[in-house]
A = this chain, B = another copy of it.
């Protein structure tokens, strides 16, 4: 059985794993991604981690999940907000030159979506829309087990999907962009505006809502409405066969999933009301999905 290297590169940490072709993790190493120390350190650290994986030389390819839109043809990141210095850097060519095996890079949400679509709860569905809600909001559209990358790699970069243009302007995103209204960051912002206390995590706002705080409940309910509108808009555009939701936000899924499905059903065609909206099923969708980038080359 062939083996592969999967890399899950984030703004805080990086993990490098050795995988078999069924998606089993054979070895995994983790370290800081050294994102604040610049490109050279980030790259050399990843290479060192690969070289510490037993038998890395015999692997058949390296798949990288990266925190931002990627250009498949140029083999680089197009956005490097979380890993400054990597934008436009030919990381695929660099790693291919170093390790003499095929290397591919893809957006981390796309890679996690692939993992869920092939190994996880989406595996029976012809199309899967995977959404990760945590600090920000990202997505992946997987059609027939392949990522639909879109123009310049921006397919399913749903952070900028407008759910209500009458909201206030927050940053470079459009007014009412879902990431500014329903991400963890958005919930923290709203809580700090409306609650008489300082909140550091969206989880605290969920906790207050569970305890009966009406302002916290209103903030969460608003965000769930906005997420429902996002799902309804996605359905109006491509009507995926299933929505799979991941990310830190889903730690509180027991609190809101029923409402989310109800609000969604109010916004879509009769025939789409029963679209499955489910929680991500895998512990490691990113590591499992990344091998798909190089498995069939």
Query: Smallest CB–CB gap between A235 and chain B, Å?
Result: 7
Question: In the complex where A127-B151, A267-B174 touch, is A141 in contact with B272 (Cβ < 8 A)?
Answer: no
Query: Smallest CB–CB gap between A93 and chain B, Å?
Result: 21
Which B residues touch A240, using CB under 8 A?
150-151
Question: In the complex where A162-B233, A174-B232 touch, is A238 in contact with B141 (Cβ < 8 A)?
Answer: yes
Query: A154 on the interface (CB 8 Å rule)?
Result: yes
Is A160 a contact partner of B237 (Cβ separation < 8 A)?
no
Question: In the complex where A162-B229, A164-B166, A165-B164 touch, is A269 in contact with B154 (Cβ < 8 A)?
Answer: yes
Which B residues touch A69, using CB under 8 A?
271
Which B residues touch A166, using CB under 8 A?
164, 166
Nearest residue (CB) in B for A174 is B267
Q: Which of B158, B163, B237, B241 contacts A141 (CB 8 A)?
A: B237
Contact with B along A237-273 (1 / 0, CB 8 A): 1111100000000000000000000000011110110
Question: In the complex where A78-B271, A267-B174, A271-B78 touch, is A239 in contact with B162 (Cβ < 8 A)?
Answer: no
Query: Smallest CB–CB gap between A265 and chain B, Å?
Result: 11
Question: In the complex where A165-B164, A269-B160 touch, is A154 in contact with B237 (Cβ < 8 A)?
Answer: no
Question: In the complex where A161-B233, A233-B233 touch, is A152 in contact with B238 (Cβ < 8 A)?
Answer: no
Nearest residue (CB) in B for A78 is B271
Q: How far is the CA of A237 from the CA of B141 in the complex (A)?
A: 8
Is A237 a contact partner of B156 (Cβ separation < 8 A)?
yes
Which B residues touch A151, using CB under 8 A?
127, 235, 239-241, 272, 275
Q: Which of B158, B238, B268, B275 contacts A155 (CB 8 A)?
A: B238
Nearest residue (CB) in B for A158 is B236
Query: A209 on the interface (CB 8 Å rule)?
Result: no
User: 18 additional contacts, CB 8 Å, given A154-B269, A166-B166?
Assistant: A69-B271, A78-B271, A127-B148, A148-B238, A150-B238, A154-B235, A155-B237, A155-B238, A156-B238, A157-B236, A160-B269, A161-B236, A162-B229, A162-B267, A164-B164, A165-B229, A174-B266, A237-B237
